[in-house]
């Protein structure tokens, strides 16, 4: 019995350490995000030539409207090109795109990936650009997006992440996805920059020094999570990633549980793959070069997703409360961690969410969407057991707002 009790207590300590650190981590950066981040002044405000790269796979439903909208920037028309990278589009879609003043590059791969499409496009369009902006095929830029991106490169950064927000709130799942995105923006972008660390990349609404991006992307062959690999490579090289909270890109949020599950499964799989690949390098970089940015990003690969952290700490906290109420002798005899510690971890997680969620989401739609949280938690939890091979095949998220 003594051995069993010891094993239970060891498991307690490991679980509390893992979840407790994760809760403190998101609280710290959530609080820092409330303090805010001041941008430095641009040394030069030159007009740079920008390539707006929009890769899409079978995105016939949205791509024409996205291409048309991308032309409506307040940036000088002769200083940016909209480049649609069309993978497996219908013939009539291609014809509509060619009728617009955009550049359409048709690509085809045995196994399609975003990184392949971007590399092929840059190979074709050449080197006559200063900045590459990467969008998803459903993204809409606010009218001043490129102007703000252009100014940010005057502050000496090679990589800049814009603020991606929800384009649609038409289902409960979309509302939860929108909130999740804003929580991540606050913690992993705004909060990180407030404490002097790099912003996280998000896969779209991001900009790079063109020559740097083209060279770096040649080494990236990710099937899923190409932005994670790119981000880890940048931080390993000591490159700082800027975040523009006021440079808005509108992104379509997932609208049903099937798409949510596929998307999260792809993200989780990518995280575990990159953690295994870079874990030792992260420790080495910290010891030899003091590269906190890189180690921080490696830790994020193994950190529990926010919804799982919230759900698991709630369940444990609730079970501990009942156990202490109904079986106090068992708790005192068998458990090493006082129940109150679990309550603190759960409340810390909740407070981190409260600080990170924008005020605009405190309304009745959110309250209604919260009823879907248990389903979202279950989808994320079961996805942990369905990750095999998810990062070895391309999982396409179909876009187009549903009624």
Q: What is the DSSP string of 69-88?
A: HHT--SS-GGGEEEEEEEES
Please report, in tens digits, the pLDDT of each residue of the chain (403 residues total). 688 777 877 788 899 999 999 999 999 999 999 987 776 665 557 899 999 999 999 899 999 999 999 999 999 999 999 999 999 899 999 999 999 999 999 998 878 888 899 999 999 999 999 999 999 999 999 999 999 999 999 888 889 999 999 998 888 888 888 999 999 999 999 999 999 999 999 989 999 999 999 998 888 776 666 788 888 888 998 889 999 999 999 999 876 666 666 666 666 777 777 788 888 888 998 898 989 999 999 999 899 888 899 999 999 999 888 888 777 777 677 677 888 899 999 999 999 999 999 988 888 778 777 777 777 777 777 776 666 655 555 555 556 655 4
pLDDT on residue 271: 76
For residues 341 and 295, what is the distance between their CA atoms, to the nearest angstrom? 27
Architecture of the CATH domain 50-170+196-255: Alpha-Beta Complex (3.90)
For residues 349 and 337, what is the distance between their CA atoms, to the nearest angstrom? 18
Write out the two tokens for 98. 């060619």
Write out the two tokens for 163. 């603020």
Please name the helix (run of DSSP H) or strand (run of DSSP E) that holds residue 272, with its range, or none: helix 257-289
pLDDT on residue 403: 45
What residues have CB less than 8 Å from 388, skipping those under 6 apart? none
pLDDT on residue 268: 72
For residues 302 and 216, what is the distance between their CA atoms, to the nearest angstrom? 24
Q: Give the orientation angle of helix 114-125 with respect to helix 210-217, to 10 degrees.
A: 130
> For 42, which DSSP code?
P
Write out the two tokens for 266. 């792809």
- Rounded to 5 degrees, what are φ and ψ at 297? -70, -40
For residues 233 and 345, what is the distance between their CA atoms, to the nearest angstrom? 33
What residues have CB less than 8 Å from 71, skipping those under 6 apart? 82, 100, 101, 102
Place of tokens 């019995």: 1
- Rounded to 5 degrees, what are φ and ψ at 338? -60, 140
Integer-rounded Cα Rg, in Å, for the chain is 22
For CATH 3.90.550.10, the residue range(s) in the chain are 50-170+196-255
162: three-class secondary structure by DSSP: strand
Sign of CA dihedral 330, 336, 337, 340: positive
For residues 270 and 228, what is the distance between their CA atoms, to the nearest angstrom? 8
For residues 150 and 131, what is the distance between their CA atoms, to the nearest angstrom? 8
pTM of the model: 0.87
Q: 386-389 contacts: CB < 8 A, separation 24 or more?
A: 386/265, 387/265, 387/268, 387/269, 387/272
Query: 87, 112 in Cβ contact below 8 A?
Result: yes
Q: How many CA atoms lie within 13 A of 58 on its CB side?
A: 8
For residues 140 and 157, what is the distance between their CA atoms, to the nearest angstrom? 23
For residues 334 and 307, what is the distance between their CA atoms, to the nearest angstrom? 29
262: three-class secondary structure by DSSP: helix
β-strand 206-209 against 159-166: which pairing, if any? antiparallel
pLDDT on residue 362: 85
């Amino acid at each position: 019995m003594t051995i069993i009790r010891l094993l239970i207590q060891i498991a307690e300590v490991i679980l509390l350490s893992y979840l407790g650190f994760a809760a403190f981590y998101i609280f710290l950066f959530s609080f820092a995000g409330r303090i805010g981040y001041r941008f430095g002044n641009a040394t030069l405000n030159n007009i740079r030539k920008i390539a707006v790269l929009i890769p899409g796979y079978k995105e016939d439903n949205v791509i024409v409207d996205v291409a048309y909208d991308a032309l409506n920037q307040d940036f000088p028309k002769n200083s940016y090109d909209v480049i649609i990278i069309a993978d497996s589009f219908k013939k009539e879609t291609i014809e509509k795109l060619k009728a617009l003043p955009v550049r359409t590059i048709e690509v085809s791969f045995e196994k399609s990936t975003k990184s392949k499409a971007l590399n092929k496009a840059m190979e074709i369009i050449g080197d006559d650009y200063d900045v590459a902006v990467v969008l998803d095929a459903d993204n809409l830029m606010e009218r001043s997006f490129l102007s703000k991106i252009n100014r940010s490169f005057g502050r000496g950064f090679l990589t800049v992440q814009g603020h991606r927000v929800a384009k649609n709130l038409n289902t409960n799942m979309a509302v939860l996805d929108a909130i999740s995105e804003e929580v991540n923006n606050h913690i992993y972008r705004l909060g990180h920059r407030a404490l002097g660390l790099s912003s996280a990349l998000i896969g779209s609404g991001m900009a790079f020094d063109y020559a740097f991006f083209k060279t770096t992307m040649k080494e990236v062959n990710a099937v899923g999570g190409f932005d994670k690999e790119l981000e880890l490579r940048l931080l390993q090289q000591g490159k700082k990633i800027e975040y523009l909270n006021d440079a808005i890109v509108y992104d379509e949020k997932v609208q049903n549980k099937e798409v949510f599950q596929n998307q999260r499964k792809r993200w989780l799989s990518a995280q575990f793959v990159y953690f295994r690949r870079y874990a030792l390098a992260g420790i080495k970089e910290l010891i030899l070069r003091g590269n906190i940015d890189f180690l921080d990003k490696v830790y994020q690969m193994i950190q529990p997703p926010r919804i799982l952290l919230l759900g698991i700490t709630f369940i444990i906290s609730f079970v501990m409360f009942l156990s202490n109420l109904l079986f106090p002798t068992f708790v005192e005899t068998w458990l090493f961690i006082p129940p109150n510690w679990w309550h603190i971890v759960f409340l810390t997680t909740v407070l981190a969410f409260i600080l990170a969620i924008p005020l605009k989401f405190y309304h009745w739609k959110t309250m209604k969407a919260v009823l879907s949280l248990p389903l979202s938690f279950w989808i994320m939890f079961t996805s942990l057991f369905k990750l095999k091979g998810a990062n070895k095949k391309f999982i396409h998220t179909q876009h187009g707002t549903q009624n």
